[in-house]
Amino acid sequence: MRPFVDTNVLVYANDPADKGKQRIARETLRAHAEDLVLSAQVLSELFVVLTRPLGLAMGIEDARAIVQELRRFPVVPVDELLVLDAIEVSTQARISHWDGLIIAAARAGGCDSVLTEDLAPDAVIAGVRIENPFAT
């Protein structure tokens, strides 16, 4: 199993406001530390959430260090072919384009699942299983 990690899991791992979700996110990342995949989209979204005033309001250098550390995992680039695949996925599955881009990136990264809070848990979209680590 090779999971793709969505932005929200990484945000919770760095957000002390919800200790329960932070613990689950960190445990999830540790459990998959050898095989996680993410995308350039995820890194960009994470940086924005970490640094924006209504997000975690983290300093730019601290946020940059987190993004830099995450580069140790395989990162799927977002290019025109991935965007076209995302259009197909989002249209067929009737999900947002951004969620379609996550699914398309997971497929491009050879992943069989996406760890996320944003989609229906246990659903299979374009051959990729959705897993919500926060579902109880």
Q: pLDDT tens for residues 21-53?
A: 999 999 999 999 999 999 999 999 999 999 998
Q: What are 3's two structure tokens?
A: 């999971």
Of the candidates 41, 65, 62, 48, which has an alpha carbon nearest to the alpha carbon of residue 11?
Answer: 48
Please name which of 106, 96, 108 lies closest in space to residue 131, comparing C-alpha atoms.
106
Residue 136 in domain: no
**Range(s) of the domain holding residue 46:** 3-131
Per-residue pLDDT of 47-75, as tens digits, reads 999 999 877 889 999 999 999 999 999 99
Whose structure tokens read 């999971």? 3
Q: What is the pLDDT of residues 103-133, one digit of tens each?
A: 999 999 999 999 999 999 999 999 999 999 9
Residue 113: which CATH number? Answer: 3.40.50.1010
Domain tally for the chain?
Answer: 1
pTM here is: 0.94
- Domain assignment of residue 92, yes or no: yes
